[in-house]
Structure 1
Amino acid sequence: MASPTPRERPLSPHLQIYRPQMTSISSILIRITGNALIVGAFLLVWWLLAAATSEEYFNFVDGVITSWFGDIVMTLSLLGIWYHYLGGLRHLIFDAGRALEVETAEKLGWACIIGSVVLTVLTLLVI
C-alpha cells in the first residue's frame, strides 16, 4: 500500500473571507422568491375556497388577508412576483449568450433588485 503524501492544495474560500457576488445573490434570491410565492398562493387559494364555502367563513378569511399580516404577505408576494419575473428575463438574456461579462451581469442583478422594488411601489400606487 502506498503511503499518503501531503500535498499543497488550495483551501476552499470560507465565509469569513469569501465576498458574495451579485450574480450568486441574485440567483439565491430567485430561488427564495420562487418558493416564498407559494405562501401567497396558499393564502389566495384559501380565500377563494372560503368564498365558495360560506359567508361567515369568507368573512373570517377575508379579515385575515386584509389584516396587517395579510397586507405584509401580499405586498411581499407582489415584490417576489416582480423580482422573479425580472430575474427570469435576466436569465433569458444570459441564455441568449448576452451580458455575460461580470460587470454587466452585476448591473443586471442590481437592475432586478431596484426594478422589482420600483415596480412593486408603482403597482401598489395603481391599486
Structure 2
Amino acid sequence: MTQASPGARERPMSPHLQVWRWHVTMLTSILHRMTGVGLYVGALIGAGWALALASGPDAYHGYMSLLASPLGRLVLFGLTVALFYHLANGLRHLVWDSGKGLDIKTANFSSILIIAFALAASVAVWAIAFSIGAVK
C-alpha cells in the first residue's frame, strides 16, 4: 500500500505551457478572432448610423458628433485596422488552403507582413480622409 503525504502535492503544469512557446503566428491567429469580433461591433455601429440617419437631423447630428469625438475616432481607426487585418489574413488563409506558405519561415514572414499592411493601409486611408477634408 502506498503512503500519501499529508500536505498538498505540487500539481504538474498544463502540457501546453510546457510544449508551446509564443510565436507570431499564434498572435495572428488570436488577432484574426479579435478582429472578427471587432467587425461585428463595427456592423452594430453602422446599423446605429443608419438608425440615426432615419431618425432625423437631430439624431444624425448627435450620432456623428459621437463618432467625431476623440474616442469615436479611435474606435473608427481601430475598425479600419481590423478590416484591413481581417481581409489580409483571410487572403493568407486562402493561400494556405491551396497548400502554399505553410512552412514556418514563410508563415512567420506573412504574419509580420499582414500586421504591417493593416497598420500602413489604415494610416493611409485616414491620411487621405484628412487630406481631402472627409475628416476634420
TM-score by length of 1: 0.85
Distance 1:101 1:118 in 2: 26
Give 5+ residue unaligned stretches, structure 2. Answer: 1-13, 130-136
Instruction: Quote the offset at 1:125 in angstroms.
Output: 1.3
* % identical equivalent positions: 28
User: 1:4-41 CA deviation, whole Å, 9 max, x = no partner?
Assistant: xxxxxxx61327x8421222211111010010112222
Q: Is the 8 A contact 1:43 1:65 kept in 2?
A: no
The 10-residue stretch of structure 1 (74-83 or 53-62) with the greater mean CA deviation from structure 2: 53-62
Where does residue 90 of structure 2 map in the other structure? 88
Distance 1:39 1:73 in 2: 10
Which position in structure 2 is the counterpart of 1:112? 114
**Correspondent of 1:14 among 5, 17, 33:** 17
Aligned partner of 2:56 among 51, 54, 57: 54
Stretches of 4+ moved more than 6 A in 1? none
TM-score of the superposition, structure 2-length normalised? 0.79
- 1:103 is aligned, of 102, 105, 109, to 105
Give me the whole-angstrom Cα distance separating, in 1, the residues matched to 2:56 and 2:65.
14
How far apart, in 1, do the equivalents of 2:61 and 2:51 lie?
12
How many residues of Structure 1 are paired with residues of Structure 2 in the alignment? 117
Q: CA RMSD in A?
A: 1.8
- The letter of the residue matching 1:39 is V
The aligned counterpart of 1:24 is 26
